[in-house]
Structure 1
Amino acid sequence: MQSATRTDGAVAAQGKGKNLPRVLVVDDEVSVLRFLRAALPGSEFTLFEAENGHAALAAAAAVRPDIILQDLGLPDLDGVEVIKRIREWSQVPIIVLSVRDSDDDKVGALDAGADDYLIKPFSIAELQARIRVSLRRSLQQAPEPVYRCGELEVDLPLRRVRLSGKEVVLTPTEYELLRLLVTHAGRVLTHSQLLKQIWGVAHVEQQNVLRVTIRNLRQKIEHDPSRPYYITTEVGVGYRLRSE
C-alpha cells in the first residue's frame, strides 16, 4: 500500500491507477478503515479516506469519487446531514455502512439520498457486490457540480451564483429553487415537483408562490426578465433551465 497523502480533507490511502474507480470512505474508526483497505485492494480501486463530515464534504468536491461509503456516526456532522449536502449537487452513489439497524435509521438515510444501506459487521463479498451494483447504476451521466450557461455560473459545492462574473445574492428559497433546476438542467420540472421539493407536500397546489419566486429569481439572473433566456416556461406544465 502506498503512503497516504492528503487531498482537501481526504487521505488517499491506496491505489493510483487513473482509470480505477475512486472510492471515498467516510468513517472515523481505525478498525473499519483497516478492514476496508483490505476489502478494496489498490489494484482495483483508488481509495480516499475522510474521518469527519466536513472533510467528507470537501473531499467529495475535490476528489470527485465514483462512489462514497458513508458512516452515520461521525464526530462533527451526522452522516445523514452529509448525505443531504452532497445530494445538493451530486448524484454520486452513496452506500451507508453503519451499526444503526433500526428501520427509522435506514429510511432516514435512504430518504436523504443514500442508494444502499449495509449494517456493520458485513462481509467483504457482500460489500464488493453492493459496490459493483452501485457503480453499474451510475454509468448514466450525472450533472456537473458547476453549471455554466452563457454568462450564468452556479457553483453548487460553494453555493455561489454569478452573472457576467458578478456575485448574485439570492434568498435561501431562490437558491434552492435554482439548485433544483440546475441539477435537472435541460429537463422540464413540473409545478408540483418544484413545489413539493422546495415548499413541501402541503403546498403542491400553491402555484402562485412558485410563480412569484420564479419571477424574483428571473429579476436577478436574467438580463431581460420579460424575455427569459435561462429559465423558460413550459405553459401549463412547469419550468426548464437552459442547458448548453
Structure 2
Amino acid sequence: MIRTVLVDGRSPAKALARALLAEGISLCCVSSADHAFDVLLADRVDVALVDFGLPGVDGLTVCRAVRRRSEAPIVVILHRPTVAEATAALAAGADQCVAEPLAAKEFAAGIRGSLRRRTITAEPATVRLGEVEIRLAERQVRRCGREVRLTDTEFRLLAELAAVAPVAVSRSELLRRVWGLSRSADTRLLDLHVCRLRNKIEADPRRPRLLRTVRGVGYQAVPAW
C-alpha cells in the first residue's frame, strides 16, 4: 500500500480518498502545511500531494518547505495549469504536476511513476550516450570528461530520454513527464529544450547523433554510435 498525504485547504477530499484506496493508495488529508509536516515527520509517507491554490499560503512555499524536510516525491495539483505554474512548481521541488479534474486511475499511475523515478534516481547510476556521461544520482552531465552545465529542466528531459534509450518517447509523454502538462500542450516548449540540449551535448547540433528526432513519434536517445 502506497501512503500519501494531501495538503488541501478546500475539503477533506473523501471521494478522492476512496477512489485512490481502490487503486492501492491510502490518502491522509490535511488542511495546512504545518499539519502535513507533522504527518511527514511522525509517520512514513511515500508521496506528498500539494494543492497549488492553498488558501493563506503559497503552494510553492509548501513545496520548498516539504522538500527541505523530506525526500518524499512531491506531486502538485494545478487548478488551471499553465507552463509558468508547472515550471515554478518543478523548480520549487515538485517531481510532477497534475491538472484537475483528477481521474483516479490516471492520478494513481502518476503517483506510482513519481515514486518509481525517485527510487531509481536515488541509487547511484550512470548512463552513457556516446561520449556523454549522465550521472543520475549527482545530477551531473559530462562530455569528454568535461562538465556540461544544464538547467534543472534540461537535465530532467535528458534523463527521461536516456533512461529508456534507445526507445523513442512521444512528445506528449515527455511534456507530461517533464513539465506535467496535458497532451494538448504546445510542443514548441519541448522542441526548444531539445534544441538547447543538442547545442550543449552534440558534437554537431545540426546533425544530432545522441538525441534524434523520430518522425511522427517524438525523440530518441542513442546510447552508442
With normalisation by structure 1, the TM-score equals: 0.46
| Bigger radius of gyration among the two | 1
